[in-house]
């Protein structure tokens, strides 16, 4: 939140598993875009990253989360695709809720500062 002085406060939240990055804003955005498009390639393109980088991030999230957040679906009349699992959607939801609560807290505390 910007103040009349032009000052504001920003923050980044990361979820870690065994000291390794699991989720952050970019990874959550990737999950959301995969969920909408049904494709890692499309999500990567929308985010202006390589497919390889996106696949590596998905693979890391799947390994570190203790269960798949994203799964490939093979075949079918449309040729398969990629889906965000229920666990993945729960991770997106939890991250969003914590980010929102943190924003509310920081905005409230920042207003109290006399700078």
What pLDDT shows up at residue 73? Answer: 85
Average pLDDT, the chain: 91
Q: Residue 22 gets which letter from DSSP?
A: E
Question: What are the structure tokens assigned to 67, written together?
Answer: 């269960």
Alpha-carbon distance of 50 to 56, in angstroms, equals 10
The fold of 15-110 is Arc Repressor Mutant, subunit A (1.10.10)
Q: Of 100, 112, 111, which Cα lies nearest the Cα of 3? A: 111
Q: Give residue limits of the domains in the chain.
A: 15-110
**pTM of structure:** 0.86
What pLDDT shows up at residue 98? Answer: 97
Over range 69-81, report the average pLDDT: 79
């Amino acid at each position: 939140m910007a103040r009349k002085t032009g000052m504001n406060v920003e923050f980044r939240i990361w979820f870690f598993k065994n000291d390794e990055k699991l989720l952050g804003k970019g990874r959550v955005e990737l999950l959301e875009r995969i969920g909408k498009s049904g494709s890692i390639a499309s999500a990567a393109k929308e985010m202006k990253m390589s497919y390889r980088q996106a696949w590596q991030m998905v693979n890391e999230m799947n390994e570190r989360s203790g269960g798949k957040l994203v799964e490939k679906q093979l075949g079918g009349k449309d040729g398969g695709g990629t889906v965000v699992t229920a666990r993945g959607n729960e991770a997106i939801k939890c991250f969003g809720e914590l980010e929102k609560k943190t924003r509310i807290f920081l905005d409230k505390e920042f207003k109290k500062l006399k700078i």
